[in-house]
Amino acid sequence: MKNINRFTVLYYQYLKRTGLFRFLVRNIINLSVIIAVVVALVYFVERYIITTKEVFIHIVDNVSGIYVYLLFGLSETFLGLIPPDLFIVWAEPEATTMGISPWWIVFLLSVLSYVGGLLAFFIGRFLNRIPAVNTWLLTKHQKLVINLQKWGGIFIVFAALLPLPYSMATLLAGLTSYPLKWLLYLGVFRILRFFIYAIFLFYFF
């Protein structure tokens, strides 16, 4: 027990010394700012232009769900360029037209995101065999690589839950030979993220 407590204290000191808690606070602040901006923007648009529900109903009526899922899957595999929260909002009107619970669509989106992260990981493994591309990516995303090497699994969890580029984090995990077994386990937090955000978007947005 003493050895476990000593390890816990040493590990906590290591995390503190390497700036993990500052990193976490900074990203929570970023998340809060993003939420505030989105809420303000949506309030303005809904009050003076068009309601969010009308926008997504229009999308549901005019765009096949297959294309939306395809776009989402590509985004979650390649750099995560589109905020997944937009797709979560889309889930409600889409579920209404299908006559199912929106939670089923949230679950499907979360699984697609999880799989997208794994595909990005294997893309990273493949790119690791191309020295020029490998070096360029590791240099371009040096900060993320350093954080991944310092904090390992904790960084993967943060990338899964916070507004960090999750697919980029998993791609870099593949580039740096991070264990696939741990990515499979920790990637589940990505699924959890979708349900946490959906609760907020469905009930408070």
pLDDT at 178: 92
Q: Domain count for the chain, please give it.
A: 1
pLDDT band at 126 (very low <50, low <70, confident <90, very high): very high
pLDDT at 36: 72
What is the spatial distance between Cα 191 and Cα 196, in angstroms, rounded to a whole number?
Answer: 9
* Closest to 189 (Cα-Cα) out of 157, 163, 149, 155: 157
pLDDT at 63: 64
The mean of the pLDDT values for the chain is 81
Residue ranges making up the domain that contains 11 = 2-204
Buried b or exposed e, range 139-175, using 16+ CB within 10 angstroms: eebeebbebbebbebbbbbbbbbbbbbbbbbbbbbbb
8 A C-beta contact, residue 87 and residue 112: no
Asked if residue 50 has pLDDT above 60, the reply is no
Asked if residue 193 has pLDDT above 90, the reply is yes
Instruction: Give per-residue pLDDT as tens, 9-49.
Output: 666 666 667 777 787 777 777 767 766 776 676 667 666 66
pLDDT at 54: 58
Instruction: Give per-residue pLDDT as tens, 173-191.
Output: 999 989 999 999 999 999 9
pLDDT at 93: 80
Asked if residue 58 has pLDDT above 60, the reply is no
Instruction: Give per-residue pLDDT as tens, 79-111.
Output: 777 788 888 888 888 888 888 999 999 999 999
Q: What percent of the chain lies above the pLDDT cut of 70?
A: 78
pLDDT band at 1 (very low <50, low <70, confident <90, very high): low
pTM (2 d.p.): 0.79
**Cα-based distances in Å from 172 to 1, 73, 77:** 36, 18, 12
Higher pLDDT, 30 or 117: 117
